[in-house]
Structure 1
């Protein structure tokens, strides 16, 4: 009985490893097929949406599911990506300018911009997670992601440390990034965001019970 449970556990782990590697390769392929600029966000949404199906213990065909999400969300995901790129470019230019300055005010503003960049990263992650979880307008996804970033510190810490761990592993182990970098990051994003969503749902239920 114990041997059967152990064998089943090994099978589940190997299945997830293969699935994450396949999703990562599909992400690379479809990002390149959109000439990177137009393929990055549709491929990312497709990867997260497909991965979410497996976290929900559904077992759809990977390639077909990925391709369906990629086609369906191509235009909207690129609109969302344009917003992210615009704000990200402003932050990048601001940090680059402040790094070249050499006074106390510039140093303070530089640290503030770095903190803003961390918040911006969390905002992107929560927006992407919300995008594949809920059927809402883009503006609502961004607004909700901002509120979650502010009021959900523990899931945000999980997301930051998980991302840092993946970065360290990819930088240390040669070849790991090609097969697992983005899919593992997607797993961290969806898992952390799920904690935040459940926490908000519990709070809403408690408030409704009190009234």
Structure 2
């Protein structure tokens, strides 16, 4: 019995490793097929939507599922990407400008902008997770992501530590980034978002009781 459980655990682990590697390669392929600029966000949404199916213990064919979401969300995901890129560009320009000035007020604004950028990064993660979870207008996704970021610090810490762990793994383990970096980051984002959703539902149930 124990041997059977161990074999199942090994099989599940190997199955997940192969899926993550395959999805990561598909993400690279479809990002490049959209000339990076137009392929990045559709490929990212397709990756998250495909991973979400496996997290929910569904087992659809990987390529067909990825391709389905890539085609379906190509335009809308690029609209979302344009909003994300525009706000990110404004934050980047602001930080660079404040970095070039030297007085107490600009130093305060510089560090405030860094904190805002970190919060914005978390909002992006939750927005993408929400996008593949429920069908809502883009503005609602962003608003919900902001509320989750503010009210759920623990899942947000998981995202930060998860991204840091993947960064160090990619830096020190040669070749791992090509096969696993983006797909594992997607898994971190979805798992952290699911934890945040459970916490919100738990709070709502307590308020009803």
Cα distance in 2 for residues equivalent to 1:3 and 1:200: 39
Choose 36-45 or 90-99, whichever is displaced more.
Answer: 90-99
The reply on whether 1:130 has 2:142 as its aligned counterpart is no
| Aligned match of 2:186 | 186
Task: Give the TM-score of the pair, scaled to structure 1.
Answer: 0.97
| Aligned match of 1:15 | 15
The reply on whether 1:97 has 2:103 as its aligned counterpart is no
Tell me how many residue pairs correspond in the alignment.
Answer: 209
Q: Which runs of 5+ in 2 are unaligned?
A: none
Cα distance in 2 for residues equivalent to 1:8 and 1:203: 35
Cα distance in 1 for residues equivalent to 2:121 and 2:162: 13
| Aligned match of 2:195 | 195
1:208 Cα offset (Å): 2.5
1:99 Cα offset (Å): 1.6
Secondary structure of the 1:204 match is helix
| Aligned match of 2:204 | 204
1:2 Cα offset (Å): 1.0
1:201 Cα offset (Å): 1.3
| Aligned match of 2:111 | 111
Residue by residue, what CA displacement relative to the aligned partner does 1:105-137 show, whole Å, maximum 9, x if unpaired? Answer: 222111111111110100000000000011111
1:156 Cα offset (Å): 0.5
1:204 Cα offset (Å): 1.7
Secondary structure of the 1:181 match is helix
1:189 Cα offset (Å): 0.1
Secondary structure of the 2:58 match is coil
| Aligned match of 1:62 | 62
Secondary structure of the 2:35 match is coil
| Aligned match of 1:40 | 40
Cα distance in 1 for residues equivalent to 2:38 and 2:202: 38
| Aligned match of 1:26 | 26
Cα distance in 2 for residues equivalent to 1:87 and 1:166: 25
4+ residue runs over 3 A deviation: none
1:103 Cα offset (Å): 2.1
1:4 Cα offset (Å): 1.3
Cα distance in 2 for residues equivalent to 1:170 and 1:95: 27
RMSD: 0.8
Secondary structure of the 2:135 match is coil
